[in-house]
Structure 1
Amino acid sequence: MNKLFYKIITNLPGKLGIWIFKIYAGIVSAGFFLFFPKRVLMSVKFYQALFPNKDRLYHIQCAWKQFHNFTTVFTDRLGLQKSQEISYTSSGWNHIEEAVRNKTGGIILMSHMGNWEMAAHLFKKKMPDAPLLFYMGVKHKEQMENIQKQSLAQSGIKIIAADQTASSPFDLIEGINFLKSGGLVSLTGDIIWHKYQRSVEVEFLGQKAVIPEVPHIFALLSGVPLFVFFAFRSQENQYYFTITEPLFIKSTSRKNRNAEIKKSAQRYADLLEKALGQYPFQWYHFERFLKY
């Protein structure tokens, strides 16, 4: 999406800009659906795995809903910038508050389910003094992604960008030190950014999937709790956050470290699968996920 156009829309008064943007985003979404058949096919195959007893037409309709719903990620961001009232309800928020209050540190494991960016903004609004670091992947030539990062940084969130080649070991050390100082580190749990990234295989929808290993390694090495965090759009201008109780990864010896990491990764995959069953059209992972 063009950065200049977004800035023009942002400067339009009140709800006028939001409505124009919604129309534009809908056109763009339809264009992607019609002219990027390989990406659509990826979504269709995913929904075949999620709804194996449905026919192909239903799976195509699911992909259409997925593409259309994805536009709300951008329209809600614009609404927030224009001071539009965005409210939320939550389950398990007290676990995060306790970690911040006691300065124990914690890993917030996000997913491409719902709108994690909106969760980050509302999180910082609710707890402005909470130290928060985000690891985010970099997509080259993606202008809207740059706006996203700038917006998060302006809200007081520290950003570490991981490109598509390889992460610096110093970035990992910085994350560990941030955790040990009592900070909260957010990592993506469901997407592999580059071929050198450490990964772990899990069971998902009766098939195999590969997810990042680093969040679980961080939890093991630092000893801090891991919180699985989902941010769902329950209705217009309304979100529902769910946060698990603190999950710890402990290993009694080096020999069983890999087993404990895999166990933690599978636990996350099970929670992700459950969330997908509740909000199937808020899955905004457009790359290959399942090993078909």
Structure 2
Amino acid sequence: MPSWEGKSKGNKLGYSIFIFILRYGGVYPAYFLLRFVAFYYFLFSWSSSKPIYHYFRDRIGYSRWKSIFSLYRNYYVFGQTLIDKIVVMADMANKFTFHFDGEHHLHEMVSGKRGGILLSAHLGNWEVAGHLFTRLETRINIVMFDGEHQRIKDYLSSVTGGRNMNIIVIKDDMSHIYAINEALSNQELVCMHADRFLPGNKTLTASLLGHDARFPMGPFLLAATFRVPVCQVFAFKESATHYHFYATEPRQYNGRRNQGIETALQDFVVQLEEKIHLYPAQWFNYYDFWE
């Protein structure tokens, strides 16, 4: 079973230092400091380094030395995506540029007035582009595990103001299902990651990079149950200040429920594997995904 526990590393002091640098120096000084932070995790965070090293070595097929180098680069790019996310969410001055592939698909979902589900993964940094979708003229609801330490969440909320999003927290009492249903009934978009699950959650198995991996059933069950347009969305960092956003053509899963679930899963896995091959360094699942 994947050892992810729904929590992210980091602390309030670390966030506050980087936000101070971002406000008064911009992203490049923050990136410079990040090189040392990434090197620290590279040297001392074996629990997360081991699965990422094996991802590069055994799943991507890199040599031993290229896998080691890619491990450090993975930490560094991951840190950049966190910094970029804060900059965009807080409307800080920046020079980020974006290339959009398939944005018209999202406009079609909105104009169809049926709501829609956007599926993504911990691959790249699509949330950065998501905060620029105010021109879609609909509310975007983000479904997530309540795994961050509350004090960090409160601090980031005070910085960003919670702009351009509504958070739907996954809870044991299943109240998030009603919130998702309400959002879709209001013709809004619902975004969720479809690559992680907590122990005890129902899962589905599919082949990814030639090996079986488990995926949470929930996102694909929702896609088949609500029968609204569904598309996969990803955004990848291609340079220090440039992102490439992808959105697939919306598809509705109208078959019998089990058939719809499997079809939705296969569509997602096809897109996920394609993007992994294009941007292998931006895989940010720091546990044994194929365990």
User: Is TM more than 0.5 here?
Assistant: yes
Deviates more, 1:58-67 or 1:139-148: 139-148
Aligned partners of 1:103 and 1:242: how far apart in 2? Answer: 22
1:96 has 2:111 as partner: no
Q: Which amino acid aligns with 1:181?
A: N
Deviations 1:120-175, CA, capped at 9 Å, x for gaps: 21223x33x3121111123253755555566676213110223xxx5332211220
Structure 1 residue ranges without an equivalent (≥5): none
1:137 has 2:145 as partner: yes
Question: Residue in 2 aligned with 1:272?
Answer: 272
SS state at 1:285 partner: coil
Q: Do the aligned partners of 1:114 and 1:231 also contact (CA within 8 Å) in 2?
A: yes
Which of 98, 106, 117 is the aligned partner of 2:127?
117
TM-score (norm 1): 0.87
Q: CA RMSD in A?
A: 2.3
Aligned partners of 1:210 and 1:153: how far apart in 2? Answer: 35
TM-score (norm 2): 0.87
Structure 2 matches for 1:128-277, cutoff 5 A?
129-141=137-149, 144=152, 147=155, 154-162=162-170, 167-192=172-197, 194-252=198-256, 257-277=257-277
Q: Do the aligned partners of 2:131 and 2:164 also contact (CA within 8 Å) in 1?
A: no
Deviations 1:226-262, CA, capped at 9 Å, x for gaps: 110010112222111110001221224xxxx323312
Question: Residue in 1 aligned with 2:72?
Answer: 64
Question: Residue in 2 aligned with 1:288?
Answer: 288
Aligned partners of 1:217 and 1:97: how far apart in 2? Answer: 24
**Residues 25/48 of structure 1: CA separation in 2 closer, same or farther (3 Å cut):** same
SS state at 1:154 partner: coil
Aligned length: 280
Q: Do the aligned partners of 2:168 and 2:180 also contact (CA within 8 Å) in 1?
A: no
Q: What is the identity percentage for the equivalent residue pairs of Structure 1 and Structure 2?
A: 24
**Residues 262/176 of structure 1: CA separation in 2 closer, same or farther (3 Å cut):** same
Q: Do the aligned partners of 2:21 and 2:29 also contact (CA within 8 Å) in 1?
A: no
Q: CA deviation at 1:268?
A: 0.6
Higher relative contact order (CA 8 A, sep 6+): 2
Q: Do the aligned partners of 1:107 and 1:225 also contact (CA within 8 Å) in 2?
A: yes
Aligned partners of 1:135 and 1:281: how far apart in 2? Answer: 25
Q: Do the aligned partners of 2:115 and 2:229 also contact (CA within 8 Å) in 1?
A: yes
Which of 33, 37, 41 is the aligned partner of 1:28?
37
**Residues 286/70 of structure 1: CA separation in 2 closer, same or farther (3 Å cut):** same
Q: CA deviation at 1:73?
A: 1.2
Q: CA deviation at 1:12?
A: 5.2
Aligned partners of 2:22 and 2:146: how far apart in 1? Answer: 31
SS state at 2:223 partner: helix
Q: Do the aligned partners of 2:101 and 2:245 also contact (CA within 8 Å) in 1?
A: yes
**Residues 264/150 of structure 1: CA separation in 2 closer, same or farther (3 Å cut):** farther
Q: Do the aligned partners of 2:101 and 2:246 also contact (CA within 8 Å) in 1?
A: yes
SS state at 2:169 partner: strand
Aligned partners of 1:232 and 1:183: how far apart in 2? Answer: 24
Q: Which amino acid aligns with 2:146?
A: V
Which of 79, 84, 100 is the aligned partner of 2:94?
84
Deviations 1:3-36, CA, capped at 9 Å, x for gaps: 2453354345856253442233222211111111
